[in-house]
Amino acid sequence: MEPTPTTVTAVTPPTPAERRLTVRDQFTVLGDLLNERTFHHVLAFGIREGWHCWEAGAGGASVPTWLAERVGPEGRVLASDIDTSALEDAENPPFEVRRHDLTVDPPPAAEFDLVHARLVLEHLTDPSAALATLVAALRPGGWLLVESSDPMLQPMACPDETGPSQALANKLRTAVWSAMATRTDLSLGRTLPRRLRQAGLTDLHVEAAFTLGGPTARHMQRSLVTRARPALIAAGSATTEEIDQHLADLDTTQLDIAVFPIVSAWGRKPLNPIARP
């Protein structure tokens, strides 16, 4: 008896235009999920008119736009990234845009009152070098706020797994993390306290949090799975039918989706740095 041939699903890679739309959508949903917490921290630092701020690895325009509104015309906001296309899409942006690679390029030639990097360090090959660049850009007494993901603190899409829909969501979330693990440190967030302390910052504070449930969390899950879809199918981690079923499940609003945990860590550059041996 001849063996039954295995059917391989052909996966059509997204076009450059489709990739850009997916990335823009991801920036939007991440802003909806994370901006409120980020802005809460920055307001607690006492941001005011005239401050100089650097949004490093900005991605989209939402955070630098908000910062520019707070510092006013007498202040300055620099938004940098390796890929500045989303920043350049903003119409008449109230901030400066610059291409900058945190692991290679020197810090900007300025001293900043605030430096912020969100969902950046975990994607870099040398996060320690990048952190040193961020700290070097601070003026004495300036604030550094770093926010990094740590999915392994709580990796499930549905912590309350009560049925097949929740089990499928968790299967696909696990597959997404496996696909990302080759290029992303999925446990970096928990290392931020140690990293900021070793960088010489003072007044350190750390907070870990994630959202559970709601339409924006479902939107985030849809964005994660849709972006990873070709890789999941190619790797055999999920079938087209499973992904389509999960996306349909998200439309029912019955899944309480958890957003991956975010660790926020902040500290100040000492006014009188201690000389290191």
Question: DSSP string covering 111-169, please?
Answer: -EEEEEEES-GGG-S-HHHHHHHHHHTEEEEEEEEEEEE-GGGS--S-SS--SHHHHHH
The pLDDT value given to residue 30: 86
- Of the candidates 172, 225, 214, 217, the one whose C-alpha atom is nearest the C-alpha of residue 22 is 225
pLDDT, one tens digit per residue, over 25-38 is: 677 888 889 999 99
Q: Which domain holds residue 128?
A: 16-268
pLDDT, one tens digit per residue, over 202-217 is: 999 999 999 999 999 9
d(CA 4, CA 2): 6
**Residues of the chain with pLDDT > 70: what percent?**
89
The one-character DSSP state at 76 is E
Q: Are 268 and 207 in contact (CB under 8 A)?
A: no
d(CA 238, CA 217): 21
Q: CATH number of the domain that 62 lies in? A: 3.40.50.150
d(CA 103, CA 81): 11
Place 267 in a pLDDT band, splitting at 50, 70 and 90: very high
**Residues of the chain with pLDDT > 90: what percent?**
81
The pLDDT value given to residue 89: 85
Place 253 in a pLDDT band, splitting at 50, 70 and 90: confident
H/E stretch holding 208 reads strand 202-209
pTM over 0.85: yes
Amino acid at 170: N
* Helix, strand or coil, per DSSP, at residue 101: coil
Q: Which residues contact 267 (CB under 8 A, 6 or more apart)?
A: 143, 144, 196, 197, 201, 202, 203, 204, 205
Place 15 in a pLDDT band, splitting at 50, 70 and 90: low
Indicate if the pLDDT at residue 104 is higher than 70: yes
Q: Is residue 275 part of a domain?
A: no
Find the angle CA(155)-CA(258)-CA(240) to the nearest 5 degrees: 75
How does the average pLDDT of the chain come out, rounded? 90
Q: Is residue 78 part of a domain?
A: yes
Q: Is residue 9 part of a domain?
A: no
H/E stretch holding 98 reads strand 96-99
Q: Is residue 240 part of a domain?
A: yes
Q: Is residue 8 part of a domain?
A: no
d(CA 107, CA 112): 11
The pLDDT value given to residue 91: 83
d(CA 167, CA 184): 24
Q: Is residue 4 part of a domain?
A: no
pLDDT, one tens digit per residue, over 116-172 is: 999 999 999 999 999 999 999 999 999 999 999 999 999 999 999 999 999 999 999
Give me the number of domains the chain comprises: 1
How far, rounded to the nearest angstrom, does the alpha carbon of residue 142 sit from its chain's CA centroid? 23
* Helix, strand or coil, per DSSP, at residue 104: coil
- Of the candidates 54, 40, 189, the one whose C-alpha atom is nearest the C-alpha of residue 116 is 54
d(CA 228, CA 239): 12
Indicate if the pLDDT at residue 235 is higher than 70: yes
Phi-psi region of 271 (alpha: psi -120 to 50; beta: other; left: phi over 0): alpha
pLDDT, one tens digit per residue, over 43-88 is: 999 999 999 999 999 999 999 999 999 999 999 999 999 999 989 8
Q: Is residue 90 part of a domain?
A: yes
d(CA 7, CA 15): 25
Q: Are 63 and 31 in contact (CB under 8 A)?
A: yes
The pLDDT value given to residue 92: 87
Indicate if the pLDDT at residue 4 is higher than 50: no
Residue 215 burial (10 A CB sphere; 0-12, 13-18, 19+): exposed
Q: Is residue 174 part of a domain?
A: yes
